[in-house]
Structure 1
Amino acid sequence: MEITLAEEITLLCLEDESGAARQRQSVGWAVAGGLLVELVLAERIAVSGKHLELTSTEPTGDALLDARLAALETWLRGRRRRVTDWLTREHSRAVTATLESLTARGLVVEERHKVLGLFPVRRYPEADGTVERALRARLDSVVLGDAEPDERTAALVALIHSAKLHRLAFPGRRPAELRARTGEIAAGEWAAAAVRAAIRDVQVAMLAATAASAAAVS
């Protein structure tokens, strides 16, 4: 089963048994960024520097991506708007949409609980671990081994690197051991120049958005 980059990132963040999400804030930025990268790869949007541009409204055939594409079309309304503004708007919504998509695919199940009998909480324990196991094996072969990444795997590594999700993607390994390799892959010659440039722009926007969010909280 082929799933989106955003769904891959979300799978990495979920505890298999409890279904609790780890590093939810950082994951939110990466998931929102992953959806943008998917739309770049599908040639539905272009990212140039700080701005987004809608290039096609033709459906991709993926319900998760098509919903975000429709939301982007409404939000842009023919204007050039900043990538950071979209990420800030979307980082929470993107995770919710992605969890719903994983549930619909049968990879996780939604469980609803109440903390102290009052506060509703949702958890997403694993229902089918085959996709996540294949995902982790693919990442290990590229980052811990010497396999050459394909376009999608390299894009995923770039998002993991930008959002500092090394602990989720490579449990048991120290992030400091991995950053040089993930950075090398993120900067590599693994896709057409225009795609690499767009993904780098998304990475920069993610870093700017997370920094602005942290400053606002402090």
Structure 2
Amino acid sequence: MTITLAEEITLLSLDDESGEAKERQAASWAVAGGILLDLALAGRVSVAGGRLTVTDGSPTGEALLDERLALIAAWAERRSRAPKVTEWLTKDQGKAPAATVARLCERGLVVKKKRRVLGVFPVRRYPEADGSAERELRERLRSVVLDGAAPDERTAGLIALVHGAKLHRLAFPGQSRKEVAARMEKLAEGQWAAEGVREAIRNMQAAMAAVTVAAVVAATG
């Protein structure tokens, strides 16, 4: 089963048993970035000078990507110039995770469960229903990051997003963060894609770094 980058990041962030989302804020930026990167890899959007342009509005055949592509196109059309990548990520990071989880439910990889906290507040959780996709994902990441296998384009892009959002512990629980981060940074900087795609990645990483710094400042202020 081929799933999107956003879905892969979401699977890494959801606890298999409880279905609770871990590192929610950072993961939401990575999920939004994953959708954008998939669209860039599919030739539907491009990034130049930090600005985002829809280059091909035709459907990809993947519902999650096509819905976002239509939203980007409509949003960009109302603006006087091409919007910045960071503007779209800021706009979409609060909404993309819910759309991505819904797609995972449709695929039967997670299941939605509802309960009430203190008998009043509704809470939704998404525990694992079929672990095959996540097992393949983690094996692929381990093969590249820990065992030195050459990544394909999408796996390298996923690693760049995970590294940019500092989700190392979600991807490699129990491993030395320092060791994993060093290897992921080297892979993220590799010449694995066209310059336009690499520029999109750099913009996403900058946006995720900015929100991480802001979160730290708010926590220590």
**Distance apart, 1:198 and its partner CA:** 2.6
- TM-score, normalising length from structure 2? 0.93
Identify the residue that residue 179 of structure 2 maps to in structure 1. Answer: 177
8 Å CA contact 1:154–1:190 kept in 2: the answer is yes
Given that 2:50 and 2:199 are in contact with CA atoms closer than 8 Å, whether structure 1 keeps it comes out as: no
Letter of the structure 2 residue corresponding to residue 23 of structure 1: E
Of residues 132-141 and 168-177 in structure 1, the stretch that sits farther from structure 2 once superposed is: 168-177
Q: In the aligned structure 2, how far is the partner of 1:214 from the partner of 1:47?
A: 29
> How do 1:29-44 residues align onto structure 2 when only pairs under 5 Å count?
29-44=29-44
Which is further off, 193-202 or 141-150? 193-202
Contact 1:19 1:126 in 2 (8 A): yes
Aligned with residue 164 of structure 1, among 163, 166, 175: 166
- Which AA in structure 2 matches 1:16? D
Task: Report if aligned partners of 1:84, 1:208 keep a CA contact under 8 Å in 2.
Answer: no
- The CA deviation at 1:196 is 2.1
The answer to whether the 8 Å contact 2:50/2:200 transfers is no
Structure 2 counterpart of 1:61, one-letter code:
G
Q: Are 1:59 and 2:91 counterparts? A: no
The residue that corresponds to 1:71 in the other structure is 71
1:214 deviates by 5.9
- Residue aligned with 2:149, SS: coil
CA distance in 2, matches of 1:48, 1:211: 25
Q: How does 1:107-146 map to 2 (within 5 A)?
A: 107-146=109-148
Counterpart CA distance in 2 for 1:214 and 1:49 is 28
Query: What is the distance in 1 between the residues matched to 2:126 and 2:71?
Result: 25
Alpha-carbon distance in structure 1 between the residues aligned to 2:214 and 2:166: 16
Query: Which position in structure 1 is the counterpart of 2:3?
Result: 3
Amino acid at match of 2:54: L
What one-letter code is carried by the residue in structure 1 that aligns with 2:103?
A: S
User: CA distance change for structure 1 residues 23 and 40 in 2, over 3 Å: closer, same or farther?
Assistant: same
Unaligned 5+ segments in structure 1 are none
Cα shift at 1:215: 5.6
Q: Aligned-residue CA RMSD in angstroms? A: 1.6
After superposition, the C-alpha distances for 1:7-63 in whole angstroms (9 at most, x for unaligned) are 000000111111111000000010011111011001111112321111111011100
- Runs (4+) off by over 6 Å: none
TM-score (norm 1): 0.94
Asked if 1:201 is matched to 2:203, the reply is yes
Out of 84, 87, 101, the residue aligned to residue 86 of structure 2 is: 84
Return the offset for 1:212: 5.0
Q: What is the DSSP-based 3-state SS (H/G/I as helix, E as strand, rest coil) of the residue aligned with 1:81?
A: coil
SS in 2 for 1:173: coil
Distance in 1 separating the partners of 2:32 and 2:145:
23
Count of aligned pairs: 218
